Amino acid sequence: MKNNLLSERLVYTGDTRTRTHLHLIRYTADNVGETTAETFDEIKEHLAGGGMRWLQIHGLEDTETVRCVCEFFGIDFLIMQDILNADHPTKIEQREHDTVVVTKFFQNEEDAQVCLVQGADFVLTFLERESKLFDDVPPAIRNNVLKFRTRPSGYLFSVLLNSITANYATQISRLDNDLDELETELLASADSKETGSRIQELRHRYLQLKQTVLPLREQYARILHSDSELFHKSVRPFLNDVNDHLQYAAQQIDLCRETLASLVDLYISNNDLRMNAIMKRLTIVSTIFIPLTFLVGVWGMNFRRMPELEWKYGYAMAWGIMILVGVVVGLFLRKKEWR
């Protein structure tokens, strides 16, 4: 990993090849305007003037577009690098003129980066890939739900954060359902050869959620206890609501951890029971054949005087004795409930 403090270049570190494009929603109490563009130059003229501006940047492959957007809104170079670092850990950073959130969202059980930058009259969202994460927000702006268009940028910021936490809640619910299904199979002793790989897959999903949600919950206190002018007192109830959702998501992750641990124990226990059953069958077979092996060994010795060798019915008698011994031993084991 290179030292980013020694480089002036902006490099996108992810592997998602979503074409970079922009979507601007600009609104006031009386009207709403929307603009889409492929480059920053196409949308730059629509950013000037008053009103609240929400600019979505989908796809981070075009680093020059990201640079132009950030420079226009006065975002420093280190934040640009964080936005383009697809492996950047979850963080919340509050500065004098803006608030930055770098975290993940989940789509088709794959994680991708999402960054929010909030200023006094703007909110920027950088999405690593095309997503429906914020699709319910534009209709709310158009319909002025809860007087959306009269509220400060902190309200839009809280709504977008709430959409992210809702994404976490959905993923946790799916994980919980998958864990319940697997638990039902294991309790029914119906685990298959794929059970181990399924447990590993669910564990991987759990770790992804844990590494995203728990740091976000811990760092969210910076916003809750902030005295920044960016968060007007009218926005505080909505920020508290986001915190409630984060706390719930964290609690559900803890429950998933306990469930996952119990499933691993149950899987190991089932394997031990299966191994014991196999060993029991092998023991039964060995117990039956031990006396037969003894008889064959006795009759296989090369002594000159063995009456059974010259007797007319010696061969039939040997088979009869061996079958009888095998049946008697088998019935004895069955009576002892060795199954």
Q: In this structure, are residues 127 and 167 in contact, taking their beta carbons and an 8 Å threshold?
A: no
**Residue found under tokens 């009207």:** 31
**Joined tokens for residue 256:** 């998933």
Distance CA 229, CA 154 (A): 10
Q: What pLDDT is attached to residue 338? A: 66
Q: What pLDDT is attached to residue 310? A: 73
CATH 1.20.58 in the chain, residue ranges: 275-335
Q: What pLDDT is attached to residue 265? A: 87
CATH 3.30.460.20 in the chain, residue ranges: 1-150
Q: How far is CA 111 from CA 11, 57, 133, 145, 269, in A?
A: 19, 17, 12, 30, 33
Fold of 1-150: Beta Polymerase; domain 2 (3.30.460)
- Positions in the chain short of pLDDT 50: none
Q: How far is CA 206 from CA 1, 128, 211, 219, 220, in A?
A: 26, 21, 9, 20, 21
Distance CA 88, CA 90 (A): 7
Q: How many CB atoms lie within 10 A of CB 227?
A: 6
Sheet holding 122-127, edge to edge: 32-37, 21-27, 52-58, 122-127, 110-118, 99-107, 91-94
Distance CA 318, CA 299 (A): 9
Q: How far is CA 283 from CA 62, 128, 227, 331, in A?
A: 68, 59, 74, 15
Q: What pLDDT is attached to residue 191? A: 59
Top-tier CATH class for 275-335 = mainly alpha
